[in-house]
């Protein structure tokens, strides 16, 4: 489980980085500033590459989230709960 959590952190940081590298389409948000002459990537191919990388990272992020949820739910089902076990001792006054 810890390995999946570390992988999740790396995917998240990579996703944030790739999103910040993309040129903004509206307004003056992002690194591109909305102006095509000052954008970091002027070629159309690099924008398509960043879009594809973003999609792949987003799919990995969602898949890893689902995998961690399934593993955690199976772990919780297999653990015994203290509250559900009947008490063997009788309370004394």
Report yes or no: 82 and 19 within 8 Å, Cβ to Cβ: no
The pLDDT profile of the chain, 93 residues, written as one tens digit per residue, is: 899 999 999 999 999 999 999 877 665 555 555 555 545 555 566 778 999 999 999 999 999 999 999 999 888 777 756 566 566 666 666
Report yes or no: 1 and 71 within 8 Å, Cβ to Cβ: yes
- Specify the pTM: 0.64
Name 58's Cβ contacts closer than 8 Å, sequence gap at least 6.
15
Phi-psi region for residue 64, left (φ > 0), alpha (ψ -120 to 50) or beta? Answer: alpha
């Amino acid at each position: 489980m810890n390995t999946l959590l570390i992988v999740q952190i790396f995917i998240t940081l990579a996703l944030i980085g790739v999103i910040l590298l993309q040129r903004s389409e509206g307004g003056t948000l992002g690194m591109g500033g909305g102006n095509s002459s000052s954008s970091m990537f002027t070629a159309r191919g690099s924008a398509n590459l960043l879009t594809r990388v973003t999609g792949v990272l987003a799919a990995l992020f969602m898949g890893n989230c689902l995998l961690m949820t399934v593993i955690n739910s199976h772990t919780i089902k297999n653990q015994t709960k203290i509250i559900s076990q009947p008490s063997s001792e009788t309370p004394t006054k």
